[in-house]
Amino acid sequence: GAVVSQHPSRVICKSGTSVKIECRSLDFQATTMFWYRQFPKKSLMLMATSNEGSKATYEQGVEKDKFLINHASLTLSTLTVTSAHPEDSSFYICSASRPSSGRDTQYFGPGTRLTVL
């Protein structure tokens, strides 16, 4: 299969601090990774598309200076929530695109629950 991991699974931080979330494709190389945010009982909202070796593309309304994305290798993308505030508390999910499985097939990580106090 195609396995994607995320770390940490849960994080609690104080308001004003920064939090880094890692997303790794464990058994395949992913030129493209995606970051989503999901509110309780809601669908996934795409935040940004991360391409290896280039700048991330952010969706409209997502603050690029607040949600820093780095895709330094074909197996790792990171999302850093800078100066986190309580309204940033949410469930963040990453996915990695595996071309050999067919165009646009995304495999998802288990998610990270962020709680900002």
Point out which span in 14-22, 64-72, 79-87, 91-99 binds another protein (CB under 8 A): 91-99
Nearest approach, Cβ of residue 91 and another protein (Å): 7
Considering only residues 39 to 68 of the shown chain, the ones binding another protein according to CB under 8 A are 41-44, 46, 49
Point out which span in 14-22, 30-38, 67-75, 79-87 binds another protein (CB under 8 A): 30-38
Considering only residues 63 to 82 of the shown chain, the ones binding another protein according to CB under 8 A are none
**How far are the Cα atoms of 6, 41, 71, 77, 108 from residue 101, in angstroms, in the given order?**
21, 29, 21, 20, 14
Nearer to another protein, 3 or 16 (CB): 3
Nearest approach, Cβ of residue 72 and another protein (Å): 20
Nearest approach, Cβ of residue 83 and another protein (Å): 26
Residue 21: name the closest of 79, 92, 76, 60 by CA. 79
* Omega prior to 40 cis, within 30 of 0: no
Contacting positions for another protein (CB under 8 A): 32, 34, 38, 41-44, 46, 49, 91, 93, 95, 97, 101-108, 110-111
